[in-house]
Amino acid sequence: MRVAIIQFLGTNCDFDCKYACDCMGIESEFVWHDEGELKNFDCVILPGGFSYGDYLRSGALAKFSSIMNAVKSFAKYGGYVLGICNGFQILTESGLLTGTLLKNTNLKFIHKDVYLKVENSVCGFAQDIEKKVLKMPIAHGEGNYFCSVDQLKYLEDNNMIVLRYSSKDGSVEDEFNLNGSLGNIAGICNEKGNVFGLMPHPERAVGDLGHDGEEIWKSLLK
């Protein structure tokens, strides 16, 4: 497994993703945003941060960078793509994932450890861990997942909802939904399950900092 970690201007979780890969024994390499190709990689990570400042709308400018064309064709041919936080926002902006991420309902940045219920899904990054509850931090101002009723039905019918904010024992209730996401959605994938976006940070719950994040990274070892 060889992982490409994309660096946009303003990305700030690139080194954290590399740290997580190193911890898990996964080979990884940084790829600059102006590259046009992704050669010899098995997986691409779009890390968190504030690409281009996110002044317009999170991810709205990153989608125009030349690497995103490469990411799109990489995904189209079945390559694994993982978007974390700002990476998730870039994936929805690019149309690789359904829906969008709005401002948190309290209009504030929220950084907090949350519990996530792993749903039964087609997601290639979350097989073998269904029904588990994982603890890891969120850190975002725009993580309020939203989509149309039809889109939600599409996600549900095709088992594309991967993570939902929940209690410690996995109960999905309003009170555990800190940012206002539709259906407590914290992460979704595409129809084929090879593109996965999530707002929480699995790279921050690895090694000495926790083990729940490792459950996501482990999928890259298979």
Partner 1 sequence: MVLKSELEARGLKIEEYELLKKKLNREPTDIELDIAGAMWSEHCSYKSSKLHLKKFPTTGKYVVIGPGENAGVVDVGDGFVAAFKMESHNHPSFIEPYQGAATGVGGILRDVFTMGARPVLNLDALFFGHPDYEKTKFLVDGVVRGVGDYGNCVGVPTVGGQTTFDECYNTNNLVNAFTLGIGKKDNIFLGVAKGVGNPVFYVGSKTGRDGIHGATMASSSFDENYEEERPAVQVGDPFTEKLLLEACLELMSRDVIEGIQDMGAAGLTSSSFEMAERGKVGLNLYLDRVPVREKMTPNEIMLSESQERMLIIAKKGKEDEVKKIFDKWSLDAEVIGEVIEDKSIKLFWDNNLVADIDVSLMVDNAPVYNRPTKKPEYIKDIENFDFETLKEPDDYNGVLLKLLSSPDLSSKHLLYEQYDSTVQTNTILKPGSDAAVIRIKETGKGISATTDVNPRYVYINPYKGTRLAFIEAYRNLITVGSKPIAITDCLNFGNPENPEIMWQFAKATDGLADICKDMDVPVVSGNVSFYNETAGSNIYPTPTVGMVGIMNKPLNAPSVSLKNENSFVYLAGVIKDGELGGSMYLKWIFDKVCGKLPSINEELHKNLYMFMNSCVDANIINAAHDVSDGGIAVCLAEMCMASGLGVEVNLLIHERVDFYLFSETQGAVVIETSNARKLEENADKFDIPLLKIGVVKGNSLKINNVVDIEVEKLRKENNRLFEKLFK
Q: Closer CB to partner 1, residue 117 or residue 201?
A: 201
Alpha helices in the chain (DSSP H): 14-24, 66-76, 86-93, 149-157, 214-218
User: Does 211 interact with partner 1 (rule: CB under 8 A)?
Assistant: no
User: Does 204 interact with partner 1 (rule: CB under 8 A)?
Assistant: yes
Residue 119: strand pairing partners: none
Annotated active-site residue 203? The verdict is yes
Q: Are 52 and 85 in contact (CB under 8 A)?
A: no
Distance CA 204, CA 48 (A): 11
Q: Closer CB to partner 1, residue 34 or residue 37?
A: 34
79-98 residues in contact with partner 1 (CB under 8 A) are none
Annotated active-site residue 43? The verdict is no
Annotated active-site residue 140? The verdict is no
Distance CA 149, CA 147 (A): 7
Q: Closer CB to partner 1, residue 8 or residue 74?
A: 8
CB of 204 to partner 1, least distance (A): 5
What would the two tokens of residue 206 be?
């690895």
Of the residues 15, 30, 146, 154, which one makes contact with partner 1 according to CB under 8 A: 15
Q: Closer CB to partner 1, residue 157 or residue 208?
A: 208
Of the residues 49, 79, 87, 200, which one makes contact with partner 1 according to CB under 8 A: 49
Q: Cβ-count burial of 150 within 10 angstroms (0-12 exposed, 13-18 middle, 19+ buried)?
A: exposed
**How much is the CA Rg of the chain, to the nearest whole Å?**
16
User: Does 122 interact with partner 1 (rule: CB under 8 A)?
Assistant: no
Describe the chain by its helix, strand, coil percentages, rounded to 5: 30, 25, 45
Of the residues 3, 5, 6, 13, which one makes contact with partner 1 according to CB under 8 A: 13
Number of residues that bind partner 1 (CB under 8 A): 30
Residue 137, φ and ψ in degrees, nearest 5: -85, 150
Query: How many angstroms from the chain centroid is the CA of residue 91?
Result: 8
CB of 23 to partner 1, least distance (A): 9
Residues at the interface with partner 1 (CB under 8 A): 9-10, 12-13, 15-16, 19-20, 48-50, 52-55, 106, 108-112, 137, 139, 141, 201, 203-204, 206, 208-209
Q: Which residues participate in catalysis according to the annotation?
A: 85, 201, 203
